[in-house]
Amino acid sequence: MTESVRIDKWLWAARFFKTRSLATDAVDGGKVRLNGDRIKPARSIKPGDILDIDNGSTEWEVVVRGLSDVRGPASAAQTLYEETEKSIALRQEKAEKRRFFREPSEAIKGRPTKRDRRQLDKTNS
């Protein structure tokens, strides 16, 4: 086992992103922070580092527990990190809000028609 792994490889191996190129783009775009700082995709991480990860749909704050540069089963990927209590609470709170408040435009696929727009305006006012 190695003592450090590139962040983009680790994010892919830990299954936060579907492809390594998506992980690289997220790191470049500032969606992943190491101990609160912006980083580059080639930056190495080690156990004990704290990562803030935003993959577009969910945000996590995790502590690195293990290293891997190969993508394995989901059960193995979950052993690579431990989510903080604060992160778990925030994710549950956001899920609860989504459960009670449905986005009005969620039911509309594609560009809304004139009728859809009128219904949206009626529900918003």
- The CATH number of the domain holding residue 14 is 3.10.290.10
Return the pLDDT at 108: 64
pLDDT at position 32: 93
pTM for the full model?
Answer: 0.74
Which residue range is the domain that position 25 belongs to? 5-124
- Please give the torsion angle defined by the CA atoms of residues 85, 71, 65 and 6, in that order, rounded to the nearest 10 degrees: -110
Can you give the pLDDT at residue 98?
Answer: 76
Q: What is the pLDDT of residue 55?
A: 82
Q: What is the pLDDT of residue 2?
A: 64
**pLDDT recorded at residue 112:** 79
Q: Which residue stretches of the chain have pLDDT < 70?
A: 1-2, 103-108
